[in-house]
Structure 1
Amino acid sequence: MSAQVMAMRQAESIGPVPTPDFCQAMRNLAGACVVIASADGSKRAGLTATAVCSITADPPQLLVCVNRNVYAHRVISGSRNLSVNVLGQQQETIAKRFAGMVEGVVGEERFADGLWADGLSGVPVLQDALVSFECKVVEVIPASTHDMFLCEVIGLAGRMNQESPLMYFNGNFAALG
């Protein structure tokens, strides 16, 4: 048996690292703060996240990961549309509102801060974000407690002025540079 085959068999028998260890390690992976927002009829919902990345440029697609237990997941699943709003360093209060870190601010009240407008598909789009990507969901892939939404970008908005983004690192919000 070749060394490569033996190594593959050994790797198959190795389980995942303990969840607390993984969470501690992930604190070292800085991420851009975004607000993922959606609307389904008269219901609007959103959440702060870092689990977003580009998939392809042609066609323009993003990968957006959302926990199935949050209300926004139900709204996204119902509408099949969402926006990914990249926050600038001056928008920490918006990040905290949508992360549930501002006492007494829930649901629709989260949209009281920032310049929100309806996008092409009716989802809330943060007009004063660094950039906002309006997307339609083209595929949903289950992954443990989350769903991965593969999204086609159908609209762009925001300031797009290259200012410093709001980052999340080691459990804290921070500016880049």
Structure 2
Amino acid sequence: MNMSPTSFTAAGPEDFRMGMRRLAAAVNVITTESDGTRYGMLATAVCSVSAEPPTLLVCVNNTASACEPISKSGRFCVNVLSEKQQDLARDFLSVDSTKRLDLCDWSRLATGAPAIDGSLVSFDCEVDQVIASGTHSIFIGRVVVASLPEADAPLLYFDGAYKGMTAVA
């Protein structure tokens, strides 16, 4: 077995970005409300932290319009999109972040952060901790409510494009 890499370069920002494009990830919409204004942003940097207590993390660029409102309100909702919501994900990119929730139906769960109707799951969270790291803030959220409608196929992001998921034998 050949254990040597076929090619490699020092990990600079561009190589890192290109490498991360090869990491398939669920497409999520992170929502919050602060001072009466609703915000929404697309994110793939979402990860479970613990089941006891239920906790997850979201990485948000400090320049994202939702970053400060999440910090200020202390709440956010992670909405995991289905393949059927691909158009919503695309449309999010062409609308101001304070108008994005006008593109879909949504409701409120326990914290009051908007939850997008029809998502595979909506994790309603209270901010437990914020960690600054480089250009991003890592919001660790305690999951207050998980809204689980009927399961559907997830929307994925891979190599710069939205993808579906097919089963393998």
- The answer to whether the Cα contact below 8 Å between 2:30 and 2:78 also exists between their aligned partners in 1 is yes
Tell me the residue number matched to 2:5. Answer: none
Report the alpha carbon displacement of residue 111 of structure 1 after superposing the two structures with TM.
Answer: 1.0
Q: Does 1:175 align with 2:164?
A: yes
**Matched residues in 2 for 1:71 and 1:122: separation?**
19
Q: Provide the secondary structure at the position in 2 that maps to 1:107.
A: coil
Q: Does 1:62 align with 2:56?
A: yes
Tell me the residue number matched to 2:77. Answer: 83
Tell me the residue number matched to 1:4. Answer: none
**Matched residues in 1 for 2:16 and 2:97: separation?**
30
- The answer to whether the Cα contact below 8 Å between 1:33 and 1:166 also exists between their aligned partners in 2 is yes
- The answer to whether the Cα contact below 8 Å between 2:129 and 2:139 also exists between their aligned partners in 1 is yes
**Matched residues in 1 for 2:87 and 2:132: separation?**
31
Runs of 5+ unmatched residues, structure 2: 1-9
Report the alpha carbon displacement of residue 112 of structure 1 after superposing the two structures with TM.
Answer: 2.1
- The answer to whether the Cα contact below 8 Å between 2:39 and 2:99 also exists between their aligned partners in 1 is no
* 145, 154, 166: which one aligns with 1:165: 154
- Greater Rg, structure 1 or structure 2? 1
Moved over 4 A (4+): none
Tell me the residue number matched to 1:115. Answer: 105
After superposition, give the CA deviation of every residue in 1:56-104 in whole Å (9 maximum; x if it has no partner). 1010000110001011001101101000000000101221233x2x3xx
**Matched residues in 2 for 1:110 and 1:29: separation?**
26
Tell me the residue number matched to 1:148. Answer: 138
Report the alpha carbon displacement of residue 162 of structure 1 after superposing the two structures with TM.
Answer: 2.6
* Larger displacement relative to structure 2 (128-137 or 106-115): 106-115
Structure in which a larger fraction of residues adopt helix: 1
Q: Provide the secondary structure at the position in 1 that maps to 2:98.
A: helix
**Matched residues in 2 for 1:144 and 1:74: separation?**
16
Tell me the residue number matched to 1:128. Answer: 118
**Matched residues in 2 for 1:97 and 1:69: separation?**
20
Identify if the C-alpha distance between structure 1 residues 23 and 107 changes in structure 2 by more than 3 Å, giving closer, same or farther: closer
Report the alpha carbon displacement of residue 158 of structure 1 after superposing the two structures with TM.
Answer: 4.2
Identify if the C-alpha distance between structure 1 residues 158 and 113 changes in structure 2 by more than 3 Å, giving closer, same or farther: farther
- The answer to whether the Cα contact below 8 Å between 1:131 and 1:157 also exists between their aligned partners in 2 is yes
Q: Provide the secondary structure at the position in 2 that maps to 1:17.
A: coil
**Matched residues in 1 for 2:97 and 2:40: separation?**
8
Q: Provide the secondary structure at the position in 1 that maps to 2:50.
A: strand
Tell me the residue number matched to 2:65. Answer: 71
**Matched residues in 2 for 1:23 and 1:41: separation?**
34
**Paired residues, what number?**
157
Identify if the C-alpha distance between structure 1 residues 96 and 158 changes in structure 2 by more than 3 Å, giving closer, same or farther: farther
Q: If the length of structure 1 is used for normalisation, what is the TM-score?
A: 0.84
* Larger displacement relative to structure 2 (119-128 or 85-94): 119-128
